[in-house]
Amino acid sequence: MRLSIVIPVYNSAAVLERLTDQISKTFEPMVTRPSTEKLMPSDNFDTIGITCINAEISDFEILLVDDGSTDNSYEVIRGLSDRDPRLRGFRLTKNFGQQNATLCGLRHATGDLIATMDDDMQHPASALKVMIEQLFAEDRDIVYGIYPYQGERIRTMGSSLRDWLFNTQIGKPSDIEISSFRVMRRSVRDRVAQTSYRFAYISALVLRETLNIGNCQVERQPRAAGRSGYTFASLCKLYLRTWLYYGRRSIVPERLKSGPAYKLAAQTRFPEILRTESRLSQPKLLMLLGAGKLQVNAVKRAQELGFEVLAVDWEPGAPAKKISEKAGLADVFDADACLKLAEAHSADGVMTTGTDQPVLTAAMVAQGLGLPSLISVDTALGATHKGVMKRTLEAHGIPTAPYKLWQPEDGLEDLKALMPGVVKPVDSQGQRGIFRVETPLEAAARFPEVLKYSRDERILVEKFIDGDEVTFSGWVRSGRLYPLALTDRVTFSEKERIGICTAHEFPTKHFDTHGDEVLALSERIVSAFGIQEGPVYIQFLLGKAQTVVNELACRIGGAYEEIWIPVVTGCDWLRWMIEGAMGVESDFSALETYDWKKVDKRLSAQLFFSEPGIVAGLSASPSENCLDYGFHFEVGDRIGGITNATQRAGYFLVTAKDEAGLGRAVQEMYSRIRIQMEGMDRNAVMVRPRREA
C-alpha cells in the first residue's frame, strides 16, 4: 500500500530537513517489513489494494507545497528532492493560503492513502501509524488527529469559532472534530480534488462527501521554530470566507465561487514510482481514447499506477482532459488521426474504456505503431460493427435476434418477418439512433434519423425480443473466460426510449435459473470472436423462447463497473486493462481464486435522469451505503429531453447485504440528491422504479 503525505509549507526552511527525516524514519521500517495479516473488506470497503490491519506500508511519498514563502524554503525542498526520489516539491506563484496549498498536494498525490500534516513538526509522524490503523479497524473514510491548543489562546478561540461555524452552518456533527492532521482514503481525495472553487477549505469539502469520520487523540509536539502565523483577525477572516463558500445560508452565487485555487510556478522532477509490483524508470505515456465522464476514473487509475495520460477527444473541454498530463484533439472514431497523435506524442500504449467504437480505433493504432494490445483488429471489428457481430454469431450457431442489414433500395418485403422490430446504427454507441418500430413503413421512415449516427450506408433491423435484459462481465486470459458478474440491466419501457439503461442491479435475480446458460454462451462467444485477453461485456435478452445475445463488447461496461466490480469481486480489472495496454505484467491471483457463485454483496448502479431545463443547482450527500456518485452536468448547463444515454444527469452506486437493504439504500440515496432547474421549485431528479422481483 502506498502512502502520500502532503505538507503545505510557508517559511519553514529551517525545519524541513528534520521534518522529512522524522517521516522517513517512521515509515521506512514499515516499507521493508513483510505484511502477513489481511483486512477483510466490508460492504463499504474502498478497494485500495487490500492492506493489513496493522497498516503495513509498501511505499510512501512526501509532497511539500511551498505556499509563496519569503525564505529559501523551495531551495531546501529542491535539495531534499534531489537526494530522495520519494520527495516531491511544488512552488506556488504566491501565498494562496494553507487550504489551497494542501489542495495542490492532494491533486498530485499518487498514494492509496493520503495524509496531510503541518510543517511546524507539531504533528508527530508516529501518530500517523495509529491513525491509519484506526481507519482500517473502524472502516472509516477519513481519520483526524485531534489535540488541544494548550497555552495558545488565539488558536483556542479560533478553534471554538471554527467548531461553531462547522456545527451550525456547514453540517458537521457535534461529536466529530476536525483538524489539518488527517489521513483519508483515495476515494475521498478524488472527490475533494475535483472542486472548482477558488477557495478550498479541505474539511468543508470532506463533509460534503462523507460523515464516516473517525477521531484519534494524539499528543501534539512543541513547535520546532517560530510561532503561528495566524492572528485572531486572520482566523476570523478565514472563517468568514469559509461561510461564504460553504455555509448553508451563503449568499454568494456558485458562479462567483469558481476559479483557479492556485497557480504553480515550479515543481521538482517526477520521481521514480516505487511499487512492489513493478518499477518504472520514468513515467510512460498512455493514450486514452475518449475523455468524457466515463473515462475520468481510467485517467486517475493510470496516474496512480505511475503512468502519464494523453486524453484524446473531439471536445476541447472534455472532463478527463482537465486532469490528464496531455490532451489531444481528434475524433476517436478516426483511426488515422489518432495514430498520428500517438506517433507525435510517442505514446507507449493505447486503450479506451466505458465506450464501444474507440475499441476498434485503439486496436488499429496499436497495430500501426507496434504497441501492446489485448485484442486484434479483427476481434475489435467484430465487437464494434453490429453487422460483423451478427454474422459471426450466426455463423457459430449462437442465438441472436433475427435481423437484416437494410437500406431503402432493398424494399420492404424482407422486413415484414422482423416486425415488431428495432432499428439501430451498425456502428454507434450510447443508445443513439435506436427505435422500436411496428411496421416496415415505420422502419423505413426512421432510416434517415438512424443513419445520422452511423458511418455505414445501411442500418440494422432486428426482431424485437420481449424479455428481461442481463449483462455479463468477465475477463479472458489466454483464451479462457473467467466470469465476474451477471447483472439485471433495467431500461425504459417506453417505445421512444427503448434500450436506454437506468440501472444495473447485482447480482441478477435470474442467476439461479440462467447463470450457467449465460456463462456457456459467453464462452462460445469468446471462442467465436477469437478473444484471447482482456475484458468482455455481453448483453443478453432472456426471451420467452430462448436466451439470445443482444450485443457484445471487448471493454469494461459503462455503468461504472471499473469502480464496483473490484469492490464486490476483488478483481481490479481496470488495472489489468491499463497494464495490458502498457505491456506490464499483471497479478491475476484474485481472478484465479474468485468464485462468481459465492458473492454475498448486493449492489445497485443507478444511472439517473432529470427533467429538462437549465441547471441552477446541484447537491448531494452520500449515504453510509454509497460507494460513489457524480453528476454529468454543471450549473448553467442545459439538460434536454431523454433521447439516448447521453442525457443521463448522474449516477450513484450503493451496496447492501440483502435485497431489502439494497432497496432502502437506493431510496435513501435518491432522497439525498437534488437537481434544481431554473424556474422550478421541485427536485428535477427522475426516480425510476427498481427491477421487479
Q: What is the reported pLDDT for 496?
A: 61
**Helix 16-32 with 125-137: angle, nearest 10 deg:** 40
Asked which of 467-476, 486-495, 544-553 is least confident by mean pLDDT, the reply is: 486-495
Cα 574 to Cα 566: distance, rounded to the nearest angstrom: 9
Q: What is the pLDDT of residues 480-522, one digit of tens each?
A: 999 999 999 998 876 666 778 899 999 999 999 999 999 999 9
Cα 537 to Cα 147: distance, rounded to the nearest angstrom: 50
Cα 634 to Cα 631: distance, rounded to the nearest angstrom: 7
The stretch 383-392 carries a mean pLDDT of: 92
Please check the confidence at residue 296 and state whether its pLDDT lies above 60.
yes
Please check the confidence at residue 39 and state whether its pLDDT lies above 50.
no
What DSSP character marks residue 348? Answer: S
User: What percent of the chain shows pLDDT beyond 90?
Assistant: 66
For the chain, give the mean pLDDT.
87
Identify the H or E element spanning 469.
Answer: strand 467-477
Q: What is the reported pLDDT for 274?
A: 36
Q: What is the reported pLDDT for 34?
A: 39
Please check the confidence at residue 271 and state whether its pLDDT lies above 50.
no
Instruction: Judge residue 483's burial from the number of C-beta atoms within 10 Å of its C-beta, 0-12 exposed, 13-18 middle, 19 or more buried.
Output: buried
User: Strand, coil or helix: what is 539?
Assistant: strand
Spatial CB neighbours of 318, under 8 Å, sequence gap ≥ 6: 291, 292, 311
**Residue 28 amino acid letter:** E
**Helix 186-193 with 202-209: angle, nearest 10 deg:** 110
Identify the H or E element spanning 630.
Answer: strand 626-631
Q: What is the reported pLDDT for 282?
A: 56
- Whose CA is closest to 107, among 205, 10, 15? 205
Asked if 604 contacts 642 with a C-beta cutoff of 8 angstroms, the reply is no
Q: Is the peptide bond before 8 cis (omega within 30 degrees of 0)?
A: no
The stretch 381-386 carries a mean pLDDT of: 91
Query: pLDDT grade, residue 164 (50/70/90)?
Result: confident
Look-up of cell digits 471489428: 381
Q: What is the reported pLDDT for 157?
A: 60
- Record the cell numbers describing residue 163, joined without a space: 467548531
Cα 28 to Cα 20: distance, rounded to the nearest angstrom: 12
- Record the cell numbers describing residue 415, joined without a space: 422486413
Q: What is the reported pLDDT for 390?
A: 93
Q: What is the dihedral of CA 260, 677, 432, 355, to 10 degrees?
A: 30
Cα 133 to Cα 30: distance, rounded to the nearest angstrom: 13
**Residue 271 amino acid letter:** P
Cα 533 to Cα 579: distance, rounded to the nearest angstrom: 12
Look-up of cell digits 474539511: 203
Please check the confidence at residue 67 and state whether its pLDDT lies above 70.
yes
- Whose CA is closest to 647, among 471, 487, 502? 502
Look-up of cell digits 432522497: 671
In terms of DSSP H, where are the helices of 232-272? 232-246, 254-257
Tally: H helices and E strands in the chain: 20, 30
Query: Residue 248, Cα to own-chain centre: how many angstroms?
Result: 28
Identify the H or E element spanning 604.
Answer: strand 602-610
Cα 530 to Cα 428: distance, rounded to the nearest angstrom: 22
What DSSP character marks residue 432? Answer: T
Torsional sign, CA 435, 439, 440, 444: negative
Look-up of cell digits 449462437: 398
Cα 470 to Cα 486: distance, rounded to the nearest angstrom: 7
User: Strand, coil or helix: what is 268?
Assistant: coil
User: Strand, coil or helix: what is 560?
Assistant: coil
The stretch 438-467 carries a mean pLDDT of: 93
Asked if 564 contacts 604 with a C-beta cutoff of 8 angstroms, the reply is no
Q: What is the reported pLDDT for 498?
A: 76
Residue-by-residue DSSP string for 37-105: PPPPP-TT---SS---TT---SEEEEEEEE-S-SSSHHHHHHHHHHH-TTEEEEEESS---HHHHHHHH
Cα 260 to Cα 620: distance, rounded to the nearest angstrom: 23
Asked if 49 contacts 112 with a C-beta cutoff of 8 angstroms, the reply is yes
Asked which of 190-199, 293-302, 597-606 is least confident by mean pLDDT, the reply is: 190-199
Cα 105 to Cα 66: distance, rounded to the nearest angstrom: 10
- Whose CA is closest to 360, among 347, 348, 378, 346? 378
- Whose CA is closest to 218, among 291, 115, 288, 309? 115
Q: What is the reported pLDDT for 519?
A: 98
Measured in degrees and rounded to the nearest 5, phi and psi for residue 590 equal -65, -35
Cα 684 to Cα 613: distance, rounded to the nearest angstrom: 9
- Whose CA is closest to 430, among 495, 356, 498, 353? 356
Cα 82 to Cα 57: distance, rounded to the nearest angstrom: 23
Cα 597 to Cα 667: distance, rounded to the nearest angstrom: 27
Please check the confidence at residue 23 and state whether its pLDDT lies above 70.
yes
**Residue 326 amino acid letter:** K
- Whose CA is closest to 333, among 408, 430, 405, 254? 430
Query: pLDDT grade, residue 40 (50/70/90)?
Result: very low
The stretch 466-471 carries a mean pLDDT of: 94
The stretch 528-535 carries a mean pLDDT of: 94
List of domains in the chain: 2-150+178-228+257-267 (3.90.550.10), 277-373 (3.40.50.20), 378-401+465-599 (3.30.470.20), 402-463 (3.30.1490.20), 601-693 (3.30.470.20)
Q: What is the pLDDT of residues 211-243, one digit of tens each?
A: 999 999 998 887 765 455 556 677 778 778 888
Torsional sign, CA 90, 94, 99, 100: negative
Instruction: Judge residue 477's burial from the number of C-beta atoms within 10 Å of its C-beta, 0-12 exposed, 13-18 middle, 19 or more buried.
Output: middle
Asked if 604 contacts 598 with a C-beta cutoff of 8 angstroms, the reply is no
Please check the confidence at residue 8 and state whether its pLDDT lies above 60.
yes
Look-up of cell digits 447485482: 506
Asked if 608 contacts 648 with a C-beta cutoff of 8 angstroms, the reply is yes
